[in-house]
Structure 1
Amino acid sequence: MASRNPDADADVAETTKTTEATMTEMADHPTSPNGSAVAYEDEEWTATRSVDQRSNLAVGDTVVFEKSFSGADVDTFAHTSGDTNRLHLDDDFADGTRFGGRIAHGTLVSGLISAALARLPGVVVYLSQDTSFHAPASVGDRFTAECEIVEDLGKWRYRLTTVVTDDDGQTLIDGEAVVLVDELPTAAAETPEAAE
């Protein structure tokens, strides 16, 4: 089914080609060079963390992930998720709303929390996430997710605060997550990328 916007269809087609190329690259790089279970990185993304070894995880450790969301990203998410609310896809419609323009899906933006957590050392398994949405996310902005360990629950489980902000530092989303951090599989830990 074609969308209401031929340019968006072209953007989605181009994004699909890029994703397919990236998936091919992922097959050659099963783990990231930083010892996490991330399959690949992108030069437009920024990620930092305060700890590099799973065995050193402790209260106060943080992980930060930054990324922009383009109109094509939002269109692709709408198609993938089925959430085709016009507020996210139709410029003319969105211009007449309280937001004054298109906004990214809240669940798309909250996905940056998962992206940040995936960059902790080890294999991160989400156990729970409580989320509150405070402000809209404008399409085209750069967003930052920051997660901080606030409690060691034992057995490699941690409770973290989670916050997503926009370019201006405004809090868009906040909440708490609980994760389990497993060891990397032996084969992944032995790859040249993991050793670097």
Structure 2
Amino acid sequence: MTQISSIEPLAPHRDNLPRGTICIEDLEVGMSRYLQKEITDRDIALFAEVSTDHNPVHLDDDYAHDTIFEGRIAHGMLTAGLVSAVIGEQLPGHGTIYLGQSLKFLAPVRPGDVVRAEVTVADINYTNRRVALDCICTIKDKPVLKGEAQVLATSRKFD
């Protein structure tokens, strides 16, 4: 079964924030949230099924062994999906609308790797409810994905 091994806010003064929504009025530049997840064979198989991306570098040990990766790797967008989970569940959270995302894949993610996906508020446009987020995924502090997301945050004014 796929499981999240840890979901915790980073800032000590925000330790008790639940998952959910942080409205634009409460966001601050520098706020961060993250999750950690072990990538399993099942995750890769399910992602292949849902995405219809059955590239053998993800699914076939023999094939993948003869590639530059010398073994199977997770889909890059599976790793990127962890960023989406942080954005949609924690920062800004429920009700957030994705407007754009740029990503750079820096290293492969393999079955058994524990990925930490972290999102940090980089800029806020309160008037338009737009938020720029720095995104990074790491394995043992080594970056495997970096990027930026632009989102539309929820507001108490529209509740």
Counterpart in the other structure of 2:29: 59
Higher helix share: 1
Going from structure 1 to structure 2, the CA distance change for 1:157 and 1:49 (only over 3 Å counts) comes to farther
Is the counterpart of residue 44 in structure 1 residue 5 in structure 2? yes
Counterpart Cα distance in 1 of 2:123 and 2:155: 19
One-letter amino acid of the counterpart of residue 150, structure 2: V
Deviates more, 1:117-126 or 1:140-149: 117-126
Contact kept, 8 Å, 2:48 with 2:54, in 1: the verdict is yes
Going from structure 1 to structure 2, the CA distance change for 1:87 and 1:76 (only over 3 Å counts) comes to same
Rg larger for: 1
Going from structure 1 to structure 2, the CA distance change for 1:146 and 1:91 (only over 3 Å counts) comes to same
One-letter amino acid of the counterpart of residue 141, structure 1: D
Is the counterpart of residue 123 in structure 1 residue 84 in structure 2? no
Is the counterpart of residue 174 in structure 1 residue 140 in structure 2? no
- Name the SS for the 1:73 alignment partner: helix
Q: Percent identity between the aligned chains? A: 34
Contact kept, 8 Å, 1:123 with 1:183, in 2: the verdict is no
- Name the SS for the 2:44 alignment partner: helix
Q: How does 1:156-175 map to 2 (within 5 A)?
A: 156-166=129-139, 168-175=140-147
1:183 Cα deviation after fit: 4.4
Identify which of structures 1 and 2 has the higher relative contact order when contacts are C-alpha pairs closer than 8 Å and 6+ apart.
2
Q: Residue deviations 1:22-50, cap 9 Å, x none? A: xxxxxxxxxxxxxxxxxxxx563424254
Match of 1:104 among 71, 74, 85: 74
Return 5+ residue gaps in structure 1 as ranges. Answer: 1-14, 19-41, 187-196
One-letter amino acid of the counterpart of residue 164, structure 1: C
Contact kept, 8 Å, 2:4 with 2:36, in 1: the verdict is no
Match of 2:61 among 81, 91, 98: 91
Counterpart Cα distance in 2 of 1:90 and 1:122: 36
Q: Residue deviations 1:74-97, cap 9 Å, x none? A: 011101111000000001111121
User: Would you say how many aligned residue pairs link Structure 1 and Structure 2?
Assistant: 146
Is the counterpart of residue 81 in structure 1 residue 54 in structure 2? no
Counterpart Cα distance in 1 of 2:4 and 2:106: 29
Root mean square deviation of aligned Cα: 2.2
- Name the SS for the 2:96 alignment partner: strand
TM-score by length of 2: 0.82
1:125 Cα deviation after fit: 1.1
1:176 Cα deviation after fit: 0.6
One-letter amino acid of the counterpart of residue 117, structure 2: A
Going from structure 1 to structure 2, the CA distance change for 1:170 and 1:84 (only over 3 Å counts) comes to same
Counterpart Cα distance in 2 of 1:48 and 1:65: 8
Match of 2:111 among 139, 151, 176: 139
